[in-house]
Amino acid sequence: MNRRDALAVLARCLAGGALVLSGVAIAGPKVLAVRAWPGKAYTRVTIESDAELKFFLSTLANPDRVVIDLSDVAADAAFQQALSTLRNDTGVLTRARIGQFRPETARLVFELNARAETAAFVLPPVGQYKHRLVIDLTPQNADDPIATFLAKIIEREAQLEKADEELRSRTPVAAVAPAPPAAAAKPNEAVKPSAAPPAPPKVASNKKPAAVIKPFVVVLDPGHGGEDPGAIGPAGTYEKDVVLAIAHKTRLLIEQDKRFVVFMTREEDVFIPLADRVKKARGVNADVFVSIHADAFTRPDAAGSSVYALSERGATSTAARWIADKENQSDLIGGVRLAGRDPALAKMILEMSQSITNADSLKLGRGMIAEIEPVNRLHKKNVEQAGFAVLRSPDVPSILIETAFISNPEEEKKLASQSHQLKLARAIRGGVRRYLLAQPQRS
């Protein structure tokens, strides 16, 4: 039984009626489903119910556990059985069990394989979901993906510098210092044909000194994830799954060239809030941000790819919001620290930065469309502009690609196929390279 099956069983078992304890019916909230989204970054458990769950959370050490007391919920056999089937291969949660702590209180215990930071909150009904209690378990020993990535950049800089030095040392500079001909060797010295060539002369005289060569940082942002499937195709294909697959392939392709490093806002099936995606991109000093999605429409014949950049209005409201946000004011925008500056000046700097960024986003988008066109028909021939939250970095050129319409049966089939995913990945790599390689050499 795979994880999804186990969760389905769990969900069915939990869909119970009113509690009957000691012959007294308790009209408590009905639990409708329990889902777990185990990941390396964090594990999210969602308990869905028809009314808001009242809970009390506590943590215990040695061994690490999280205890959640649920008011007016029964720890019946179905609940126990369901929890026993819960598997967790990748996350911090190893086992979940439930017991009747008090007649009207069920106690849910999560056993963990490491100490975890725990957050729990309730969400009101939205879309297809009813009330949800969300428990996030973030392992404390988990590597910080941003720190790991920044270390990777430093390592890559060193590699690029070494490669650059080697290249420079191989560059012939005969006019400066001609290599001594073999005949110049003294007669008593054997000239070995296999001997290493004479050390090349230093080339510093006619070349600029080597500068730190920074790899381009590409952030790929596969949309949705975890509890949020995104659009669902008529054959049941999830947008979150295909965009993740496309992003993984794109990373592999882009990183074949050592001048590029790729950071993914999610590498697995977890939910990442939109603001966190933007924050991550800024945290790794992204040169470009590419969000990958699949479109959906009520009409099944809607088809083709589209590329979006931030709209004027989105940009204006973003500037206003950044100014309003104290946290952002102390942030570096386009290399200029805004903290403590005159608000009008800060606004001007920010708007200038944003308008340069917008022009770059459009350029990135146009190149992307040119690369996608041979691979998939275009829904829109020009870069569209909309107020997508993930595109709101004032200083990172950002685009959102709707790879195709997953609501179109034909395009759904293509999106799910490995070969088409690879074609799209090649196109995305092409668009990213087209834009970045046209940038002036950074150092």
Applying CB under 5 A, the span of 59-67, 114-122, 227-235, 434-442 interacting with Zn ion comes to 227-235
- DSSP bridge partners of 134: 46, 121
- Give me the least distance between CB of 223 and Zn ion, in Å please: 4
- Which of 214, 293, 420, 423 forms a contact with Zn ion (CB under 5 A)? 293
| Pairwise CA distance, residues 68 & 27, whole Å | 20
Residue 221 or 395 with smaller CB distance to Zn ion: 221
- Measured in whole angstroms, the distance separating CA 269 from the mean position of its chain's CA atoms is 10
Q: Residue 77 Cβ, how far from Zn ion at the closest point, in Å?
A: 40
Number of residues that bind Zn ion (CB under 5 A): 3
Does residue number 226 form part of the binding site for Zn ion (CB under 5 A)?
no
Question: Are the C-beta atoms of 139 and 92 separated by less than 8 Å?
Answer: yes
Q: Which is nearer to Zn ion, 26 or 232 (CB)?
A: 232
Q: 379, 387 in Cβ contact below 8 A?
A: no
Token pair for residue 297? 């429409």
- Report, in Å, the least distance between residue 293 CB and Zn ion: 3
How many CA atoms, within 13 angstroms, populate the side-chain half-sphere of residue 358? 20
Helix/strand/coil for 330: coil
Residue 306 or 354 having the CB closest to Zn ion: 306
The shares of helix, strand and coil residues in the chain, as percent rounded to the nearest 5, are 35, 25, 40
Segment near Zn ion (CB under 5 A), from 187-195, 285-293, 319-327, 365-373? 285-293
Residue 39 or 230: which CB sits closer to Zn ion? 230
Identity of the residue, 75 or 231, whose beta carbon is nearer to Zn ion in the bound complex: 231
Q: Are 397 and 288 in contact (CB under 8 A)?
A: yes
CA nearest to 249, candidates 413, 11, 421, 432: 421
Residue with tokens 């350029």: 363
Pick the stretch among 49-57, 69-77, 93-101, 220-228 that binds Zn ion (CB under 5 A). Answer: 220-228
* Least spacing, CB of residue 239 vs Zn ion, in Å: 5
The helix or strand, by DSSP H or E, that contains position 397, with its residue range, turns out to be none
Stretch that binds Zn ion, among 54-62, 125-133, 218-226, 433-441 (CB under 5 A): 218-226
Is residue 223 part of the contact set for Zn ion (CB under 5 A)? yes
Note whether 230 binds Zn ion by CB under 5 A. yes
Give me the residue whose beta carbon is nearest to Zn ion. Answer: 293
CB under 5 A: which stretch of 173-181, 254-262, 293-301, 409-417 binds Zn ion? 293-301
Output b/e per residue, 387-414; b: 16+ Cβ within 10 A: bbebbbbbbbbbbbbbbbbbbbbebbeb
Q: Does 266 bind Zn ion (CB under 5 A)?
A: no
Alpha-carbon torsion (36, 41, 42, 44), positive or negative = negative
Nearest residue (CB) to Zn ion, 251 versus 293: 293
Q: Does 233 bind Zn ion (CB under 5 A)?
A: no
- Per the listing, tokens 């992307």 go with 368
Q: Which stretch binds Zn ion (CB under 5 A): 24-32, 228-236, 339-347, 349-357?
A: 228-236
H helical segments located in 269-342: 274-283, 312-324, 326-329
User: Between β-strands 260-264 and 216-222, what pairing exists: parallel, antiparallel or unpaired?
Assistant: parallel
How are beta strands 131-139 and 43-49 bridged, if at all? antiparallel
Site residues (CB under 5 A) for Zn ion?
223, 230, 293
